[in-house]
Amino acid sequence: MRIFSGIQPTGGMHIGNYLGAITQWLELQEKHECFFCVVDLHALTLPQDPDELRKATHQKVVELLALGINPEKCTLFIQSQVPEHSELAWILNTLTPLGELERMTQFKDKARKQVASSVFAGLLNYPVLMASDVLLYKTQGVPVGQDQSQHLELTRTLAKKFNQRFGETFVEPKTILKKEGAKIMSLADPKRKMSKSDKADSYLGIFEEPESLKKKVMGAVTDTGKEIRFDPTKKPGVSNLLTIYSLFSVEPIQKVEKKFQKKDYAFLKKSLAALLIEKLEPLRRKKKELDTRDLYVKEILRRGQQHASSLARATMEEVREKVGLLEP
């Protein structure tokens, strides 16, 4: 299968990104042809400081390498370094009904967090750029967290529409979701997904200092009652902590539930904090080491860009011809 997936450069990587998406990338790179991308153009849909954005983009690549993304097994690159992403997005924009974009949950959520005068067309068009990221490589599978499912439905709709109008061109990609971990919830409000644009106490960074991890886990919102039970509807806070524990300890949720059955919330939190600190320490160390290897990272990105560009160019030649544009 050909696989594509992306991550935004801004904000540190949190355990939601890791458990929902990156752990899938790690598995898929072993067996499939994978394209992994830092989607800096997506970050521009919200106001960014130019220097900070450049640094964050480089940092995100370092983070992915520290987590085990292996450039010998996949193509790792930066979205804006392959300009065909934007070109295809424009063409797909001309096929996308405005209403489809306005009903996107993520647009509504993100627009709500901004003052009205800072909600720009780019934020509305975000899913079209995402569709172009995926379709450009004739991708068959896209590993993501659950929050991206709606965007991928639109991607399939646009592929179908283009194919019907201009002839068979794009593959309709399937969404690859984890059974557990597709939606890690916020520590501050376990009814909402963990998100890097929320307050810092609501998410756990993968590369965060042990003390800070511990403080955040101990402060996580739990539920009324004392019982430790996996019940996401009635006990969303505790269930979220059990899910995180189960995924990091690689033990089934039932086993974890049993382990904490007769314990109290404080014990669960202390155990989870200790587990996270133990599991994340080697990743923090690896990242520190990679932080000093700028040239190595740049070389990976150069190779990634070259390979991704060769495929992207071929698709765009086909698209330009089909929609009636003159050759450049």
Whether 263 is catalytic is no
- Cα-Cα end-to-end distance for the chain: 31
Q: Which of 60, 178, 193, 214 is catalytic?
A: 193
Would you call 322 a catalytic residue per the annotation?
no
Specify the stretch interacting with ligand AQP by CB under 6 A; choose among 143-151, 159-167, 205-213, 275-283: 143-151
Gap between the Cα atoms of 172 and 102, Å rounded: 22
| 239 forms part of the interface with ligand AQP (CB under 6 A) | no
Where is 174: in which H helix or E strand?
A: strand 174-176
246 lies in the site for ligand AQP, by CB under 6 A = no
Q: Which residues pair with 7 in a beta bridge?
A: 38
Rank residues 149 and 157 by Cβ distance to ligand AQP and give the closer one.
149
Q: Is 57 in the site for ligand AQP (CB under 6 A)?
A: no
What is the largest distance, in Å, between two alpha-carbon atoms of the chain? 71
178 a catalytic residue: no
Q: Select from 148, 202, 240, 243 the one that contacts ligand AQP (CB under 6 A).
A: 148
Is residue 183 close enough to count as binding ligand AQP by CB under 6 A?
yes
DSSP alpha helix (H) spans, the chain = 15-17, 23-31, 40-43, 50-67, 84-93, 98-102, 105-113, 121-135, 149-166, 210-218, 236-249, 253-260, 265-290, 294-323
Residue 20 binds ligand AQP, judged by CB under 6 A: yes
**Residue 112 CB contacts under 8 Å (≥ 6 apart), including other chains:** none
Task: Identify the residue among 3, 21, 28, 104 touching ligand AQP (CB under 6 A).
Answer: 21
Cα–Cα distance list, 200 to 72, 140, 212, 222 (Å): 34, 35, 10, 17
- Of 217 and 316, nearer to ligand AQP (C-beta) is 217
The 193-232 site mask, x for binding ligand AQP (CB under 6 A), equals xxxxx-----------------------------------
Q: At closest approach, how far in Å is the CB of 61 from ligand AQP?
A: 14
Please give the Cα distance from 109 to 148 (Å, whole number): 13
The residues assigned a catalytic role are 110, 193, 196
Q: Which residues bind ligand AQP (CB under 6 A)?
A: 7-8, 14, 16-17, 20-21, 144-145, 147-148, 182-184, 193-197
